[in-house]
Chains A and B, each alone.
Chain A
Amino acid sequence: DGGITQSPKYLFRKEGQNVTLSCEQNLNHDAMYWYRQDPGQGLRLIYYSQIVNDFQKGDIAEGYSVSREKKESFPLTVTSAQKNPTAFYLCASTESVSGANVLTFGAGSRLTVL
């Protein structure tokens, strides 16, 4: 079945360490997105990519980096520069449905900084 796979589901990091969250999709979608969710909050956009080898900053890109070397993959690196990285991270891709361009989401990765 087609979908978005995020890994790992849970990740623990020590302060000062970089970590990379994986996002792979087999939906043949062009656009991919990373969102961050904090408790009691909505989703906030970190980065997005419309096509391979191109990506744009979202609202809270500081302390994060991404790459888009393949259509299927959009990994997110949480760097040591991110001051409060503990959060739930969701990857998504865009499917066009009757012009609605519905976002399909992965199951998420929960990052905890110890």
Chain B
Amino acid sequence: AQKITQTQPGMFVQEKEAVTLDCTYDTSDPSYGLFWYKQPSSGEMIFLIYQGSYDQQNATEGRYSLNFQKARKSANLVISASQLGDSAMYFCAMRRLNQAGTALIFGKGTTLSVSS
């Protein structure tokens, strides 16, 4: 069965510091995709970054990068130079197996608090 695990319920960081949010996954599919979403207090889910299992390089999008370690089945999100607006809940997700669409399985999330 597929599973996403986020072991950090909450993380605290000061502005301008980097922070790593952990995500481990389990799947039997050799081809898979991993996603990170941000959920501010307003509730809307915002897509941050995507990593395909066959991608040769770790994904990067601005201040976001994904530390993908395939052998360890981990896909940690790294946020560089944290900003106050980064305070939100962050979800790691994986594309589901055996479905024609692209429904995702989500982890339980990590709440990030950025202080000045």
A-side residues, CB < 8 A to B, are 31, 33, 35, 40-45, 48, 50, 56, 58, 88, 90, 92, 94, 97-108, 110
Contacts and interface: CB of A to CB of B under 8 A. Distances in A.
A42 B45 contact: no
20 contacts: A31-B101, A33-B103, A40-B108, A41-B109, A42-B108, A43-B91, A45-B96, A45-B103, A90-B43, A94-B101, A97-B50, A100-B33, A100-B35, A103-B35, A103-B45, A103-B47, A103-B102, A104-B47, A105-B44, A108-B44
A50 B101 contact: yes
Nearest to A41: B108
Contact of A105 (B45, B99, B101, B108): B45
A101 B33 contact: yes
Contacts of B108: 40-42
B100 A50 contact: yes
Contacts of B9: 40
Given A31-B102, A42-B109, A50-B101, A107 B50 contact: no
Chain A CB within 10 A, most for which of B33, B44, B102, B108: B102
Interface in B50-71: 50, 52
